[in-house]
């Protein structure tokens, strides 16, 4: 009953002070901003370049339609003090900004440094802004478990007590970036008493964005499905971006919320099952049904830029995660996987991101 009540309204007596959302043009951030504005909350949106309003016009349009209030501020994750104006008078900081790139040339430069330094700069500013009372950090389940084999050998189930230990600069560097950034955040949070912090650790985020984010890795994943004939069985957890946004807000305004929250839908799945579901819902699109054997994928993986260690540790191994804490503390109810996939793929269809069979 409590979960259903949370579905209808986040909570009564929401703070009248504004909140800050970093990385405002991001996939999760856009849906979060819409949800915040629907709750009557004024949003301070941090963007990289305020002189290019065309990049965030869609946010303003959605807020105008909802008759809400959003203010845009320029801020740089690698420049100390650049978040001071955006954070002024804010009671909550939603730090969603962090590089999400799976293929990089220089992992330290392109992933690790921006993620860690950006988090430190934002949280240091929170320490210098007296109005801030809570920070909600968008981390990742990747900070808990770098690959399925690591999770499988850790009591077979990943939860909030797990920390990724397998990732390196050479292997799963994105997981390493999220791990180091979250650990740095907890060090900073523990050094002061002004504000409390919670982290959101979603599995693979899918579902429709506020706009079609064609460069987002999750959208790219579905797009790539339509360009291959066979796929490996890679186990994964999936969570709807709309549920992720809602969890952020519930955690921000819920006093009992503390620590880390693993966010994942109730239906654990894999790449093959996802393709099967999409093929059933969108039969006119070239979605593969054939499975590439692990042994064959291992042989050819380097030719596709995939490490053999990834194949060994991810293919034909289930991803088991425990979302109990998010349900018990936040009252989360997760959308069915079919709804998430249908709405996301339909958005791609509507914007020409995928084409029908020829």
Catalytic amino acids?
178
Q: How far is CA 332 from CA 56, 137, 242, 243, 264, in A?
A: 29, 18, 11, 8, 10
Handedness of CA 14, 198, 126, 172 (dihedral sign): negative
Within a 13 Å sphere around the CA of 277, how many CA atoms are in the beta-carbon half?
A: 18
DSSP state of 40: T
Q: What is the spatial distance between Cα 109 and Cα 113, in angstroms, rounded to a whole number? A: 6
DSSP 172-188: SHHHHHHHHHHHHHHHH
Q: Which two tokens stand for residue 145?
A: 């478990």
Interior angle at CA 316, CA 313 and CA 320, nearest 5? 80
3-state SS class at 149: helix
β-sheet bridge partners, residue 43: 19, 70
Q: For residue 294, report the phi and psi dihedrals to the nearest 5 degrees.
A: -60, -40
CA 136, CA 197: separation in Å to the nearest integer? 6
């Amino acid at each position: 009953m409590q979960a259903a009540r949370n579905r209808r309204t986040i909570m009564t007596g929401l703070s009248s002070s504004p909140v800050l959302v970093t990385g405002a043009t991001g996939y999760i951030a856009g849906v979060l901003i819409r949800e915040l504005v629907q709750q009557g909350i004024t949003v301070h949106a941090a963007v990289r370049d305020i002189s290019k309003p065309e990049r965030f016009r869609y946010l303003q349009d959605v807020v105008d339609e909802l008759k809400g209030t959003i203010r845009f501020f320029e801020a740089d994750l690698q420049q100390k003090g650049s978040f001071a104006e955006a954070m002024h008078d804010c009671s909550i900081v939603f730090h969603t900004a962090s590089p999400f790139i799976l293929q990089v040339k220089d992992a330290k430069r392109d992933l690790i440094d921006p993620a860690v330094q950006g988090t430190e700069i934002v949280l240091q500013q929170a320490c210098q802004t007296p109005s801030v009372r809570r920070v909600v950090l968008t981390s990742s389940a990747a900070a808990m478990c770098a690959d399925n084999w690591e999770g499988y050998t850790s009591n077979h189930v990943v939860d909030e007590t797990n920390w990724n230990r397998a990732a390196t600069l050479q292997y799963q560097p994105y997981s390493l970036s999220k791990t180091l950034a979250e650990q740095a955040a907890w060090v900073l949070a523990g050094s002061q008493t002004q504000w409390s912090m919670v982290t959101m650790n979603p599995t693979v985020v899918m579902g429709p964005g506020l706009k079609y984010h064609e460069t987002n890795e999750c959208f790219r994943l579905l797009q790539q499905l339509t360009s291959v004939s066979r796929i490996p069985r890679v186990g994964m957890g999936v969570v709807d971006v709309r549920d992720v946004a809602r969890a952020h807000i519930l955690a921000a305004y819920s006093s009992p919320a503390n620590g880390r929250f693993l966010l994942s839908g109730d239906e654990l799945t894999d790449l093959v099952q996802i393709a099967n579901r999409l093929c059933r819902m969108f039969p006119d699109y070239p979605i593969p049904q054939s499975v590439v054997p692990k042994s064959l994928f291992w042989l050819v993986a380097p030719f596709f830029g995939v490490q053999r260690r990834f194949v060994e540790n991810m293919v034909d191994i289930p991803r088991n995660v425990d979302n109990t804490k998010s349900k018990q503390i936040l009252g989360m109810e997760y959308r069915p996987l079919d709804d998430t996939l249908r709405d996301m793929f339909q958005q791609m269809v509507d914007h020409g991101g995928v084409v029908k069979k020829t």
